[in-house]
Amino acid sequence: SQQGEEDPQALSIQEGENATMNCSYKTSINNLQWYRQNSGRGLVHLILIRSNEREKHSGRLRVTLDTSKKSSSLLITASRAADTASYFCATPHYGNTDKLIFGTGTRLQVFP
């Protein structure tokens, strides 16, 4: 089964609102990464949070990590129509830092 599972599967909001996506995972991790995928394109790396970090910011992005609950959240503040995309969390396979295990993603739609 998937290491990462995102919630919700789909999210629709208005421009200016905040969007929160959650990710749960099953095994111990060294880090957790969030990627964005625009329709028909490849994945773009957004942010990496290490297992000893609880929160990280990058521009309008805020990521939290709770290793006790094996969960992470991605918050996009003041969303824009250009944020419309699918968002995936990914974790390096335990014991093997080279392959990433992806969740099924959250499809975010931001309406102007």
Residues lying near other proteins in the complex (CB under 8 A) are found at 2, 4, 30-31, 33, 35, 40-45, 48, 50, 88, 90, 92-93, 96-105
Shortest Cβ 61–other proteins spacing (Å): 14
Give backbone dihedrals phi and psi of 104, rounded to 5 degrees, phi first.
-85, -10
Which CB atom, from 4 or from 70, has the smaller least distance to other proteins? 4
Which CB atom, from 2 or from 18, has the smaller least distance to other proteins? 2
Q: Fill in the amino acid letter for 102.
A: F
Place of tokens 């290793």: 67
Strand partners, 50: 31
Shortest Cβ 83–other proteins spacing (Å): 18
Shortest Cβ 31–other proteins spacing (Å): 6
Q: Is 92 exposed, middle or buried (0-12, 13-18, 19+ CB in 10 A)?
A: middle
Which CB atom, from 69 or from 99, has the smaller least distance to other proteins? 99
Tokens of 68: 């006790």
